Structure 1
Amino acid sequence: MKPGPIFLIGLVAQTLVVGPVAAGCAEAPPPAGSRESAFVRQVVERMPSYLHDFSVPGGAVAVIENGEVILARGFGMADAATKTPVSERTLFNIGSTSKSVSAWGAMRLVSERKLTLDEPVDARLKRWHLPPSSHDITGVTLRRLLSHTAGLSVSGYRGWGPDDLIPTLEQSLSGNANGAGALALTATPGTAWSYSGGGYTLMQLLVEETAQRPFSDYMRDAVLGPLGMTESSFSLTPLVLGRAARAYDELGEETPTPRFVEVAAAGMYAPIGDMACYALATIGGVRAAPVLPAAMLDQMTSAAPATDGRFGLGYAIQPHGEGFPDGVERVGHDGGNRGWQSFFWVSRAKRDGLVVLTNGSNGWNVSNQLVADWMEWKTGTRLPIPSSIAATILRPLHEAGVAAAIARYQALKAAARNGHIFNANELNRLGYSLLHKGRVHDAIAIWELNAREYPDDWNVHDSLGDGYAAAGPGYAGKAIASFRRSLDLNPANAHAQEMIARIQRGESIGL
C-alpha cells in the first residue's frame, strides 16, 4: 500500500578525496601527530568506503573541535556520469536543515523589533490567512511556528519536478503543494509538539511581508552574507543548479532535484565550508554577532514551551547527550529530500560539531557511521548504530540480480542481525522503488521475501498484491489472494478492497 518513510538509495560511484575547501570557513589542519590530526586522517580514510558501502555518490564532512574547523572537505562524486568530484564549491541541498537557518532570518526581525515572538501571526499577514478552525487562531505565534508547537498540519513537502509549474507561496499554503495538503490549524496552539514544515512556510510568508522582499533575497543579505555563508542560497537559480551536485534516487539513478516554493522548510543549498561557518555561528561568539545578539541565540538553542525539552526555535535538542555517549547536550537539525541527506549537530558548551552532506538519499547511513566514529574518538565507546538492510543489499541487487540480493539478506540476518535494520518497511520501500522503475518481477521477489518474513503484517501483503496486480492478468489470482490476506489482517484496508474490485472488473493496473 504505502512504502512508509523514504530513505532512498544512491548510485555506486568511484570515490576520491578532494582538497580542503577554500570558501567559507575552511579547515585549519590540526598539528601533525595530535589526536585531532589522527581523527581527521581516519575520516579521510573511511569516508570513501562509507560512500561505497551505502551506494552514495558523494558527500562532504565538517568537524568542529574546540571552536576550530579541523576538517571541511569533499569526497566522492558530484556527478557520477561525468566523474566530476565533489569540490570546495559543490552545493548540496540540505533539506529540513534549512529550517534551522531560516529561523535566524525570523529572529533577526525580532531582534530589530519588526516582529515579536508572541503576537498572533495571522493578524500580521495580508497575502494569505489561516482558514477558520475550531481552535484559536490567535494562538499561532512566531515562537510556536519556530518550535513546532503551533498546532498546524503539513509535516513536510515532496517538492516539484523540473517541468512542473511551481505554485506561489499562497497557493502552496492553500493546498497546491504536490500532495502535502493545505495548511490548517488542527490542534490547540501551545499544547504539544508536532513537526510542521507548513508552519515554516507560514513563517516564510511572515518574513517576506515584514521585510517586503522575497525570502531568498532577505536571507542572503540579512543572514547568509553576514555569517560568511556567501556560497549558499535559498534560490535554485541556474547558477546554483549548475554548481550543485547531482541528486541520486533509491536505485542509484540520477533524479531531478526537487523544486520548492517552500524554501524556508526545505530549499537551501550550501557547500561544506558555509555549513562549517553555520556550525561556528551556532556555537556563538563573533561569528554570530553580526546577525543575532548572544541572548537571542541562547533562546533559540534552549527548549521552548510544550516541546518536552527537545526543541528550541529552529533547533532540535538532544538533552544530556541522549544518543551521544559523552553526555553532552547538542543542538542541530537533520534534513532529507529525494536525492539528498544532511546531518548537522553541535555542542555550544564543548564547542564541537559534526556536519555531513550527501547527494544520495541513502546518505543517512553514511552520517550514522561518521557519528559512531566521532563518538568513539571522543569516548572510546562505539555506538551500535544499525545500517539499512535495504541499502546493504542494493549492491548485489545491481551486480548480480535479485536472487543475489535475497541471498545476501538471508546471510546477514543469520550472521549479524544487530548490525542492520530488519523490519517490514525496509523491504517494502525497496520493492516500491523497483516497481516504480518498471522492475515488476524484482519487486515481487522482494515482497514475496517480505511476506515470508512478516506473514502477519497487513501492509506487506497489500504491497505484494500491488506487485502481482502490476504484473498483468496472469497474476490476477495471486493479487486477489494477497489483497484478501491483507484484509483478513486489516478489514479497514480500503486500498485492498478497491484493488480487488478493479481486478475483478478486468481493469488494467498500471505501475
Structure 2
Amino acid sequence: MILRCTHLLIATILSFAISLPLLSEMPKWQQASERLDSLTPKLLQQHQVPGASIALIEHGEIIWAKAYGVTNALTQEPVTVETVFEACSMSKPVFTYAVLKLVEQGKLELDRPLVDYMEKPYLSDEPLHRIITARMVFSHTSGFPNWRRGKKLSVAFEPGTSYRYSGEGFLFLQKAVERIVDEPLEPWIQQSLLQPLMMADSSFIWQTQYKEKAAAGHDSDGKVKGKRRHYEKPNSAYTLYTTPSDYARFLVEMLRSDRAARHSLKSGTIENMLTPQITLPDNEDRARGLGWVLKTGVTPVVAYHSGSNGTGFRCNSQFDPKTNVGVVIMTNGVNGRKVWQAVMEVLEEDLFVRP
C-alpha cells in the first residue's frame, strides 16, 4: 500500500514537472492573443471607440489577426480582419521604403537637394528649402511645419540642424519623386511595392471597393464623424488605406532576411533605415531613423510608428528586428490612442520580450 502511494506521488510530481515546460513553451503570440481577447472589448467600451483590428507577427510571419467591435456606430456592421482603416501617418514608412529603392537604383541621392530633381523650385521665395534633402525629410529635419494650414509655407530653421515633425516635408519629397518616376504616386507605389507585397487591400487613394469594407471614423463620444472625406488625391504623409494584415505584410518585409526579391531593399539599406539620424528633443531614448521612430535604449533598436488623422482614426505599428516580432493595431475612434497604448502594454510583456 505504501509502495503504491509512493508510485502515485512520484507519477503526480513527474506529471506536474512535465507540464511546466509546456506552459512556458506556449508561443508568445498565443499568450498575447488570449489576453487581448479579454482586454480589447473592454477597452473599446471604456474609451468609446467603436472598433479595432490587430495583427501579430512572430518568427517573421503573420501568425494571428483578429477584429473587435463595429465599423460604424450607426450601422453596427462588425469589424473583420478585412476591414479597411486609414493608416494615417503610418503611410510615411511605406513611402520611405519605396523611395529608398529609387536610391538603390541610382535615381535619387539621399543627400542631394530635392530641388535638383524638380523642373522649378518648390517655393520661389524661400531660399532655405533649396537645401532640403530626402534624408532630412525622412528624419523630420527639413524645417517645414507639419502642415501649412492655409498659411504661407516657410522653413523654420536651417534644414538638417534640428527636429520638427513635418508632413509637408513628405509632400515636397513626393513631388520630387513623381518628377523622377514620371507618374503619380499611386500607380508607381502600387507597381513597385504594394502589389509585390500582396497588399491587395491597400491604396493611397480611395477605391470603390472600400465602400463596402471601410470603417468609418468616430469622434471622442464614439459618434460617426461628419460627412466622410475620401482621399481622392494621394499624399505620402497620411492617405494610405489598408488593413492591419496588409500593413503587417510590410513589417514582414522589413524583417525579412532574404533580400533577393526585386522589390526588396538591400540589408544595408534596412540598416540605414534603422540607424538614428537625430535624437528626439523630448526623449533621449528615442530617435528618428529613415521613416521610423526608434527606441534606442536597446540594441538593435526597436522601430515603430503611430498614426492619427482628423477623420477619426488612430493606429500604431511596431517591430523588433532582433526577435522578429511585430504588431499592427488600427482603430476607428479619436480615443483610439488610449486603446492601442493599453494593447501595447500587454504586448510589451508577452510579445516584445527579448531573451
TM-score by length of structure 1 reads 0.59
Q: Which residue matches 1:150?
A: 142
Deviates more, 1:271-280 or 1:255-264: 255-264
Residue in 1 that maps onto 2:190 = 220
- Residue 277 in structure 1 maps to residue 269 in structure 2: no
The aligned residue for residue 346 of structure 1 is 319
Distance 1:285 1:219, change over 3 A: same
2:237 match: secondary structure: helix
1:61–1:354: 8 Å Cα contact kept in structure 2?
Answer: yes
Question: Which of residues 294, 309, 320 in structure 2 aligns to 1:317?
Answer: 294
CA contact (8 A) 2:325 2:351 kept: no
Distance across 1 between alignment mates of 2:160 and 2:249: 33
Q: Following superposition of structure 1 onto structure 2, how do residues 233-272 of structure 1 map, counting pairs within 5 Å?
A: 233-255=203-225, 256-260=227-231, 261=233, 263-272=235-244
Instruction: Within 5 Å, give how 1:292-311 maps onto structure 2.
Output: 292-304=265-277, 310-311=287-288
2:68 maps to which of 70, 75, 90: 75
Q: State the 1:180 CA deviation.
A: 5.0
Q: State the distance in 2 between where 1:210 and 1:242 align.
A: 35
The CA deviation at 1:337 is 0.7
Spell out, residue by residue over 1:43-101, the C-alpha distance to the aligned partner (whole angstroms, 9 max, x if none). Answer: 12221111111111111111222323232221111122222111232100011111111
Q: Which residue of 1 aligns with 2:7?
A: none
Output the aligned Cα RMSD: 2.5
Distance 1:36 1:124 in 2: 45
TM-superposed CA distance for 1:341, in Å, is 0.3
2:179 equivalent among 206, 209, 226: 209
Q: Is the 8 A contact 2:315 2:337 kept in 1?
A: yes
Q: Are 2:348 and 1:375 equivalent residues in the alignment?
A: yes
Contact 1:258 1:337 in 2 (8 A): no
In the aligned structure 2, how far is the partner of 1:210 from the partner of 1:378?
41
Quick one: distance in 1 between partners of 2:211 and 2:114? 33
The percentage of aligned residue pairs carrying the same residue is: 26
What's the secondary structure of 1:70's corresponding residue?
strand
1:52 to 30, 45, 55: 45
In structure 2, list runs of 5 or more residues that go unmatched. 1-23
Counterpart secondary structure, 1:336: strand
Please name the residue that 2:159 is paired with: 189
Query: 1-side partners of 2:41 and 2:295: how far apart?
Result: 29
Which amino acid letter does the alignment assign opposite residue 297 of structure 2? H
Structure 1 residue 281 displacement after superposition: 1.4
Between the aligned partners of 1:348 and 1:35, the Cα distance in structure 2 is 16
Change (3 A) 1:373 1:266: same
Q: Structure 1 127/268 Cα, relative in aligned 2: closer, same or farther at 3 Å?
A: farther
Cα distance between partner residues in 2 of 1:262 and 1:185:
23
Aligned residue for 2:269, secondary structure, equals helix
Letter of the 1:224 counterpart: L
1:358 is aligned with what amino acid?
A: T
Aligned position for 1:119: 112
1:282 is paired with a residue of what secondary structure?
Answer: helix
Amino acid at match of 2:273: M
Shift of the alpha carbon at 1:116? 0.9
Deviations 1:319-340 (A, max 9, x none): 125xxxxx87311210011210
Shift of residue 134 of structure 1? 5.7
Highest RCO, 1 vs 2 (Cα 8 Å, sep ≥ 6): 2
Q: TM-score scaled to structure 2, two decimals?
A: 0.83
SS at match of 1:265: coil
Residues 354, 147 of structure 1: alpha-carbon distance in 2 compared, 3 angstrom cutoff: same
Q: How does 1:330-479 map to 2 (within 5 A)?
A: 330-338=302-310, 339-377=312-350
Partner of 1:41: 34
- Which amino acid in 2 is paired with 1:236? W
Q: Displacement of 1:123 after TM fit?
A: 2.3
Distance apart, 1:342 and its partner CA: 0.6
Aligned residues: 322
Report the Cα distance in structure 2 between the residues aligned to 1:366 and 1:181, rounded to whole angstroms: 34
Return 5+ residue gaps in structure 1 as ranges.
Answer: 1-30, 157-174, 322-326, 381-511
